[in-house]
Amino acid sequence: MSWLTIVGIGEDGIAGLGDAAKAAISQAELVFGGERHLRLAAPLIRGEQQAWLSPFSLSVDAVVAARGKAVCVLASGDPFQFGVGATLARRIDPAQMRVLPHPSAFTLAAARLGWPLGEITTLSLHGRSQDLLRPHLQPGARILALTSDGDSPLQLAQLLHESGFGLSILTVLEALGGPEERVRSQPASAFTLADINPLNVVAISVVALPEARVLPLVPGRDDALFEHDGQITKREIRALTLATLAPRQGELLWDIGAGSGSIAIEWLLAHPTLRAIAIESHPERCARIKHNAAQFGVPGLQLVEGAAPAALEGLEPPHAIFVGGGGSDPGALETARAALRSGGRLVANAVTLEMEAILLAHHAAHGGSLTRIELSRASSIGTMTGWRPAMPLLQWCWSKP
């Protein structure tokens, strides 16, 4: 039996609610919500009101503790679209909930613009880094983004302009569904809109200039997109390495000896549920990894400054491990192998004879597969063109039983 009702409410307040939602609010002993939600629903509330606390986890605890009472939680729009519904469902059996959604901000924005939701990108930048937008900046793309406040649209316009997308059109949709609704558009490079309602959604019609930083959709992105000091897994090797690491939904990667962070970054770009920890001992390279992660739109990359194997102590066990520049310590590979989850994959690359000898020894002791990779690139030789070979590479791949 459900004791908790989650009601989605819009800027039109109780006028936009159905009879079931109105009854749930009126009959609740406890009503939780943001101050704005409680104000919108005030004419219906008969029970005790509790505004969200900071940190939000305290309010979640309070909702859980009220089990057995008639409880109503007010949420913005659709509670399960970047809303409180998903948070509560992690603690409360959905069978004990009744959810009465309202059209989400995305639904309302798409309706105003005539954009088919199934053909556009939707993401939340509310309380999150705006760098998350970067991987979605593809020529011709259409994006709907929830923002944090009235300053966010200008910040997004600046990000677009600085990244070569200045001709993109930003449409700011404010207080959708309410009496103060307003829709205004300007190009990113000439964005001057002011007095923007903090409750807004930004629609972006992406236009890429020739110099725009467009991130390809597959691994093996151009080395020039990364800031590095030469310590980088080159693009062709990177593509092969990512294919061998074989990322799967929700998995965690350790990138040991991360250098520029290119492997961890491309791992994260493969799917939004993936996580990665970059382990790097050089402070300058750590700074580059942070910069690269932001520029590629994966600011969630976790960075551990230190050398393996000591730096691996206490880290969450991974589903996959890549060992590049940090595997020469005799204990690094053994520690990595021991930490790997059952069914996980370890991939290690060697370009030096010393590291190659380590990988050959591990292959002899533990099995797995060995692959030798040799690449050549055409380049000028005087007035002619010839092949210049890159350093050959040995790759060892091992799966944990």
The domains of the chain are located at 4-102, 106-205, 223-399
Contact 175, 181 (CB under 8 A): yes
Sheet holding 71-76, edge to edge: 48-51, 30-33, 71-76, 4-9, 97-100
State the residue for tokens 């005087």: 382
Supply the pLDDT for residue 266.
Answer: 98
DSSP 298-321: -TT-EEEES-TTGGGTTPPPPSEE
Contact 245, 252 (CB under 8 A): no
Q: Which CATH class is domain 106-205?
A: alpha beta
- State both tokens at 42: 């005030």
Q: Which residues contact 48 (CB under 8 A, 6 or more apart)?
A: 29, 30, 31
Q: Which residues contact 61 (CB under 8 A, 6 or more apart)?
A: none
Q: Which CATH class is domain 4-102?
A: alpha beta
Supply the pLDDT for residue 327.
Answer: 65
| Tens-place pLDDT, residues 285-323 | 999 999 999 999 999 999 999 999 999 999 999 999 999
Show the low-confidence residues of the chain (pLDDT under 50). none
Contact 82, 126 (CB under 8 A): yes
Supply the pLDDT for residue 48.
Answer: 97
| Tens-place pLDDT, residues 218-259 | 999 999 999 999 889 999 999 999 999 999 999 999 999 999
Fold classified for 223-399: Rossmann fold (3.40.50)
Q: How far apart are CA 61 and CA 103, in angstroms?
A: 27
Contact 4, 96 (CB under 8 A): yes
